[in-house]
Amino acid sequence: MRLGFAASAPFGAGVLERLASCHEIAFCLTQPDAQAGRGRGLRPAPAKLTALKLGIPVVESLDEPLDAETIVLVAYGRLIPKDLVDRHLWLNVHPSLLPRWRGAAPVERAIMAGDTETGVTIIRLVEELDAGPIAAQERVPIGPDDDAGAVYDRAVPLSIDLLERVLSAPAFEPQPVEGVTYAEKIGPGDRLLDLSRPEEALNRVRALSPHIGARADLEGRPVVVWRARVEDGRFVPVEVQPPGGRRMGYDEWLRGLR
C-alpha cells in the first residue's frame, strides 16, 4: 500500500523504519531542523534522519503537497489544519490506552503516575486533540524497572501489527466519554526531583530516561539522573551525568568529587 507518513520523535522514527519494510512510503512529513544541545546548533528530527537513510522524500511544511490518500501520523508534534484533516485519511498511532493520556507525553505521564500498563491506540485524526474514533487498541505492560525508552520500544512492533490490521479494512468506534486524562508536554519543572518523595522521584527518573533526563542537586552539585532505585525507603542514584560531562555510575561520580 502507498502511504504518507508524519512523525518527528524517536517513537515515530521506529515505526517508520518498520512500516517502510512492507509498504511504499510516499513521503515523510516532519518538523524542520531545530536548535538543540549546548551549542544550540540545528539538529534534524529523528524521523527525518530515518527517512533520509531509507531514501524517503522529506516534507517539512504543511503547505507542500501531500501526495497520499492515507497518512500515518506518529508523534509528529504539530496540529494538522482542518482542511488537511478533511482531505486525507489520517491514522494516528498514539502510545496510550485512549482516552487516558491524550496529548504530547503519554508514556512519560503514565510512568510518572505509577501506571502499570499503557497501550497503543490507532485513531482517525480529528480536530480535537487525540479524540478521534478508535480503529484498534492493545495493552502494553509497564514493568517496575521499565523506563520510557523500554515502553516505547515495546510499542513499536505492536503499532505495526495494529496498523496492518487497520489498513486492510478501516473501521472506527467512538472513544469512551469517561476516563479522559491529558499528558501535557514535559517542561523544565517536570524534570526536577523531590528527593523527599523517593517513589515519585524514581518514577520521574524512569519516565524521563533515556531521552530527557531528571535533574537533582546531589552533594551540593547539579546532575542529571538517568537511573535510580529506592532502597530502605531512600532514593539511591545509580547513573548520573554532571554538566558538560558523560553519563557514569553514581559511585564513580562520587570518587571524582573526592
DSSP string, the chain: -EEEEEE-SHHHHHHHHHHTTTSEEEEEE-PPPEEETTTTEEE--HHHHHHHHHTPPEE--TTS----SEEEEES--SPPPHHHHHHSEEEEEESS-TTTTEES-HHHHHHHTT-SEEEEEEEE--SSTT-SPEEEEEEEE--TT--HHHHHHHHHHHHHHHHHHHHHS---BPPPSSS--EEPPP-GGGGB--TTSHHHHHHHHHHTTTTT-EEEEETTEEEEEEEEEEETTEEEEEEEE-TTS--EEHHHHHHHH-
What is the pLDDT, as a whole number, of residue 209? Answer: 98
What is the pLDDT, as a whole number, of residue 34? Answer: 83
Q: What pLDDT, in 10s, does the model give residues 38-73?
A: 655 788 999 999 999 999 999 999 999 999 999 999
DSSP string, 25-91: EEEEE-PPPEEETTTTEEE--HHHHHHHHHTPPEE--TTS----SEEEEES--SPPPHHHHHHSEEE
What is the pLDDT, as a whole number, of residue 38? Answer: 62
pTM confidence score: 0.94
Residues of the chain short of pLDDT 70, as ranges, are 36-40
What is the pLDDT, as a whole number, of residue 161? Answer: 98
Task: Round to whole Å and give the CA distance between 8 and 255.
Answer: 39
148 contacts: CB under 8 Å, gap ≥ 6? 107, 108, 111, 206, 207, 208, 209, 210, 211
Output the CATH code of domain 188-257.
3.10.25.10
Q: Which amino acid is at 113?
A: A
Q: What pLDDT, in 10s, does the model give residues 188-212?
A: 999 999 999 999 999 999 999 999 9
| Domain assignments of the chain as residue spans, ordered by start | 2-183, 188-257
Please tell me the total number of residues recorded for the chain in this structure: 258
The answer to whether 127 and 169 are in contact (CB under 8 A) is no
> Does domain 2-183 match CATH 3.40.50.300?
no
What is the pLDDT, as a whole number, of residue 239? Answer: 98
What is the pLDDT, as a whole number, of residue 40? Answer: 59
What is the pLDDT, as a whole number, of residue 257? Answer: 87
What is the pLDDT, as a whole number, of residue 243? Answer: 94
What is the pLDDT, as a whole number, of residue 197? Answer: 97
